[in-house]
Amino acid sequence: MATPHIQAEKGQIAKVVLMPGDPLRAKFIADTYLEDVKQFNSVRNMFGFTGTYKGKEISVMGSGMGMPSIGIYSYELFKFFDVEVIIRIGSAGAYTDNLNLFDLVLAKDAWSESSFALAQSGYDKDVIEPNRELNALIADTATKIGKTVHENTIHSSDVFYHEDNVDGHVEFYEKHGCVCVEMESFALFHNAQILGKKAACLLTISDSLVTHEVTTAEQRQNSFNEMMEVALESAIK
């Protein structure tokens, strides 16, 4: 049964979906890590693929940028395609010099100024948690394969470019305890909660709002491989 944004049949999508923001990264992951790959979606070029990793079926699909976009795709995957688990894999900007470029962050929870959850279900708080068991599994997997993850509160922002007269990264860090910023997890965690599913978010620090360091495209590619290994090894457990 196709939905407005995903042209696939139910059985074509695995129970576990890894979700990068960029659909071309989804293709890269499928090409690099999965076997017996079949593409299940190309509507709006939001590519989705299903294949096997170490013999277990896994799907990978782009989410697009921002909460409205991941809100649509995660809702359709959970509700209409019987997906049970979505692990977002993305990039984030550091709000503290305790985080270096390429560090891995596992979202302990997501704070947001977004009205997504209020508009979607009437949820009126500004923090949403991922699935605790899934987080524990990802943290444990990372340790077992020798990768360090920082489990902290993250900021899911609606805005990439802020004007100077509004709260900046210092306030988000000091007032809300957010160590880094991305733009999707609050909506993903919300959808998982209202639909009784599981979600988590693993991030690689790609830039710093403190030091103004940025990564090159090539550096991002290599560092994302680390995050991918943690996500894939977690997904098959």
Contacts with ligand ADE by CB under 6 A lie at: 91-93, 157, 160, 181-183, 206-207
In SS3 terms, the chain reads as: CCCCCCCCCHHHCCCEEEECCCHHHHHHHHHHHCEEEEEEECHHHCCEEEEEECCEEEEEECCCCCHHHHHHHHHHHHHHCCCCEEEEEEEEEECCCCCCCCCEEEEEEEECCCCHHHHHHCCCCCEECCCHHHHHHHHHHHHHCCCCEEEEEEEECCCCCCCCCCCCHHHHHHHHCCCEEECCHHHHHHHHHHCCCEEEEEEEEEEECCCCCECCHHHHHHHHHHHHHHHHHHHCC
**Annotated catalytic residue within 31, 82, 164, 207:** 207
Report which residue's Cβ sits closest to ligand ADE: 93
- CB closer to ligand ADE out of 16 and 188: 188
- CB closer to ligand ADE out of 104 and 183: 183
- Rounded least distance, CB 105 to ligand ADE, Å: 11
- CB closer to ligand ADE out of 29 and 205: 205
97 belongs to the catalytic site: no
- Rounded least distance, CB 186 to ligand ADE, Å: 12
- Rounded least distance, CB 112 to ligand ADE, Å: 12
- Active-site annotation, residues: 207
